[in-house]
Amino acid sequence: MGAKIWAHRGASGYVPENTLEAFRRAAEMKADGVELDVQMSKDGELVVIHDETVDRVSDGKGYVKDYMYGELQALDVSGSMPDYGTVRIPTLAQVLEELKPTGMEVNIECKTGIFFYPGLEEKVVKLVQDMGMTERIWCSSFNHESVLRIKKLCPAMKTGFLIGDIIMDVADYAKRYGVQALHPALYHMQDEGLLERCRRNGLAVHVWTVNEREYISKLGNAGIDAVITNFPDIAAEALRRTGSY
């Protein structure tokens, strides 16, 4: 089995990120999975949007946490691609319903690094379990406390530590806390021993966000487990050339 392709925020190189349309496009492109970001509205709805504020991608302003879900629904989030037409912020439930029939994997990134949304982890676990999708989900976060909370609530859930900074002995650290994967950025892979140390510790390696053919091919040759990319079609082509897809 070669590297899997996970569409980052859906096929976000082509369609406004983190929308149902972006996840559908990823499925059409035959990506193996999608990555998405979860924040929480004022009334406790799990919503799929990257930033803590709606400013960058929408016609509104302010923190997601200060909006009721009904108000968020009214926003147009085509901001990154204004010519695309109106698109809405989906709930996590809507995205999982959309993807359930596809059999794709879903990497749920809990965006708890800035606001510690109360009860977010419990809601994610309950939803995934209610939908019977536990085996297909990977939960990750830059907030490792959040990841461990999910593991405790649902030991069967696959989990990964997202890292941005360069951390000492990170593969040992991840193993110690019992997660199944490390989610390093592309730049972490300059450390040529990292993949090997993860392998020795039984960790899968899912690398973000890799959009250039050259790097996708390199990672494919190196034997990583998943490439998280905005361009699933380009990734498939690059990996096929290396024979790792």
Q: Which does 228 bind (CB under 5 to 8 A by kind): ligand G3P, Ca ion, none?
A: ligand G3P
35 sits near ligand G3P (criterion: CB under 6 A): yes
Q: Burial level of 59, CB count in 10 A (0-12/13-18/19+)? A: middle
Tokens of 227: 């490439």
Q: Residue 99: what are its φ and ψ, rounded to 5°?
A: -90, -15
37 sits near ligand G3P (criterion: CB under 6 A): yes
- Cα distances from 235 to residues 44, 160, 212, in angstroms, run 36, 22, 8
Q: Could you say which residues in the range 38-97 bind ligand G3P, by CB under 6 A?
A: 50
Q: How far apart are CA 209 and CA 5, in angstroms?
A: 11
Pairing of strands 46-48, 33-40: antiparallel
Q: How far apart are CA 13 and CA 29, in angstroms?
A: 12
183 sits near ligand G3P (criterion: CB under 6 A): yes
Active-site annotation holder among 8, 144, 188, 206: 8
Q: How far apart are CA 186 and CA 207, in angstroms?
A: 6
Which CB atom, from 209 or from 221, has the smaller least distance to ligand G3P? 209
Residue whose token pair is 């698109």: 87
Q: Which helix (H) or strand (E) holds 243?
A: none
Residue type, 232: P
Active site residue 50: yes
Query: Which of 17, 21, 37, 225 forms a contact with Ca ion (CB under 5 A)?
Result: 37
As measured in angstroms, the least distance from the Cβ of 65 to ligand G3P is 17
Q: Binding marks (x or -) toward Ca ion, 87..116, rule CB under 5 A?
A: ----------------------x-------
As measured in angstroms, the least distance from the Cβ of 242 to Ca ion is 25
Active site residue 183: no
Query: Which of 162, 181, 189, 236 forms a contact with ligand G3P (CB under 6 A)?
Result: 162
Residue nearest to ligand G3P (CB): 208
Q: Residue 82: what are its φ and ψ, rounded to 5°?
A: -60, -25
Binding residues (CB under 6 A) for ligand G3P: these are 8, 35, 37, 50, 109, 140, 162, 183, 208-209, 228
Q: Which residues are catalytic?
A: 8, 50
Binding residues (CB under 5 A) for Ca ion: these are 37, 109
